Amino acid sequence: MMDGFVYALTLVTAVLSGLMAGSYFVFSVMVMPALARLPSASAVAAMQAINAAAVRPWFMTAFFLPTVLSLVLIVVSVANWGEDAAALVLAGSVVFLAGNFALTAGFHVPRNNALADVDPKAPEAQERWAGYLSSWTTGNHLRAAACLAAAALLTVALAT
């Protein structure tokens, strides 16, 4: 299963999974706590700017490329089921898709879109920010952990 092409796909997916884990980790341990210390209006405006800035080629590539590669690796691992690394590649790919793509698309993006509609100076901004901060950060912890787990599983598969 781990011929040169599949090995390269697995390596790139593992590295990008680690990159995504790191970016989510930084948000969880530095960015969100820093925003929590700001007045609500400033925090909402800052997060709106961050969310807008995220939709750029470098981040979108780092987000979507391992998503596509994970889908390819799922097919490859199922087609080569029974070989040494197949289960690890399948597990890493599924964990990445669920913990990165599905969680982002189904949980974070709707919250980001709702926050984009908030006027930072409106009276309800403080309440909306408090709810967003708590739930978004908890979900982000899960994304970081899932991406790290996916990177670890894929790395172990490379060594198998």
How many structural domains comprise the chain? 1
Per-residue pLDDT, averaged over 122-136, amounts to 95
- What per-residue confidence (pLDDT) applies to 3? 84
- What per-residue confidence (pLDDT) applies to 160? 87
Q: How confident is the model over 106-122, as pLDDT tens digits? A: 999 999 999 999 999 99
Gap between the Cα atoms of 8 and 10, Å rounded? 5
What's the token pair of residue 71?
């889908």
pTM: 0.92
Range of the domain at 147: 4-159
Q: Which phi-psi region, left, alpha or beta, contains residue 39 (left: φ > 0; alpha: ψ -120 to 50)?
A: beta
- What per-residue confidence (pLDDT) applies to 59? 93
